[in-house]
Copies of this chain bind each other. A is one copy, B any other.
Amino acid sequence: MLNYSGESRVNIAASVEFIHNATLLHDDVLDESKARHGVATANKIWGNKSSILVGDLLLTLAFRWLIECGNLSVLSILSKASNLLVKGEIKQMTTRFDPNTIRKNYFNIIGEKTASLFSACSEAASVVSGATSDETERLRNFGFNFGMAFQIIDDVLDYTANQGTLGKQLGKDFFEGKVTLPSIIAYEKGSPSEQKFWEKSFSSARHNFDQALQYINHHNAIHVSMEEAKHYINMAQSNIDTFSDSLYKTALIDFLNASIERQG
């Protein structure tokens, strides 16, 4: 049962892309990124002012289009997600290193800054397609678990990617002092002196990336991180198990597999 015109659904999908791209434009300003997907970032080409304003334009245009579609459920889902993802970004910026909460904070932050939008996309698509509430819940969880896996893999690639493929600077998260899963695992498994190295890396500008890579490889932290990502991928797959086979279900499973296999 489809209760939404094709045009409305395209507008909703476009609005999600606008929200996503607004956050990318602003993220690249925040992180002073010079390249994304192998090409120069907007802030590199046109400056920070353009990126901030065009981000604002996309965000407000997204809401304008969503509101024109007139579905309050979809509006509620996507406005909550966009608010949550900014909250996640702020938490990432402001959370101080604490050995007792480092793992919990990481999963909380990636849940908000990444998985919330994946989840909202799946849920909103489900709502406009007239799915049952059980189907909607499954698809919402599928999106959340997919988003968690996607972000963990993205964080792994910061330590492993082929720079030409990913198009971003290797070790960027590390140099910015971002606490991501590979470094958490190396920290948890590390000796007291290794833990001191990581604590310094998370809180100061003196960063020795080669040393970090050595500890990460020594503790097999990339493999362990990917196991965690695969755990979320498996959960996502099980969320859609009960749907009957279709072109669309196959496409979703292909997405999951492609995210595990990507090299950048």
A53 adjacent to B67 (CB under 8 Å): no
A60 adjacent to B57 (CB under 8 Å): no
Question: Main secondary structure on chain A at its contact with chain B?
Answer: helix
Copies of this chain, complex-wide, total 2
Nearest B residue (CB) for A61: B83
B56 adjacent to A86 (CB under 8 Å): yes
A1 to chain B: closest CB distance in Å? Answer: 23
A14 to chain B: closest CB distance in Å? Answer: 14
A76 adjacent to B86 (CB under 8 Å): no
A50 adjacent to B93 (CB under 8 Å): yes
8 Å CB contacts to B: which residues of A48-72?
48-50, 52-57, 59-61, 63-64, 67-68, 70, 72
B54 adjacent to A29 (CB under 8 Å): no
A68 adjacent to B60 (CB under 8 Å): no
**What residues of chain B lie closer than 8 Å to A90, measured between beta carbons?**
53-54, 57
**Is A201 at the interface (CB under 8 A from chain B)?**
no
A60 adjacent to B83 (CB under 8 Å): yes
Alpha-carbon distance A22/B90, docked complex (angstroms): 15
**Is A259 at the interface (CB under 8 A from chain B)?**
no
A39 to chain B: closest CB distance in Å? Answer: 22
Q: Count A-side interface residues using an 8 Å CB cutoff.
A: 34
CB within 8 Å for A87 and B57 given contacts A63-B79, A76-B68, A79-B64: yes
B59 adjacent to A59 (CB under 8 Å): yes
What 18 new A-B contacts, CB under 8 Å, besides A26-B52, A61-B83, A68-B76? A29-B48, A30-B52, A48-B48, A49-B93, A50-B93, A52-B52, A53-B86, A55-B56, A56-B59, A57-B83, A57-B87, A57-B90, A60-B79, A60-B86, A67-B72, A67-B75, A67-B79, A72-B72
Chain A residues within CB distance 8 Å of chain B: 22-23, 26, 29-30, 48-50, 52-57, 59-61, 63-64, 67-68, 70, 72, 75-76, 79-80, 82-83, 86-87, 89-90, 93
A-B contact pairs, 24 of them (CB 8 A): A23-B56, A26-B52, A29-B48, A29-B52, A30-B49, A48-B48, A53-B86, A53-B93, A54-B90, A56-B59, A56-B86, A57-B83, A57-B87, A59-B60, A61-B83, A63-B63, A63-B79, A63-B82, A64-B80, A64-B83, A67-B76, A67-B79, A68-B76, A75-B75
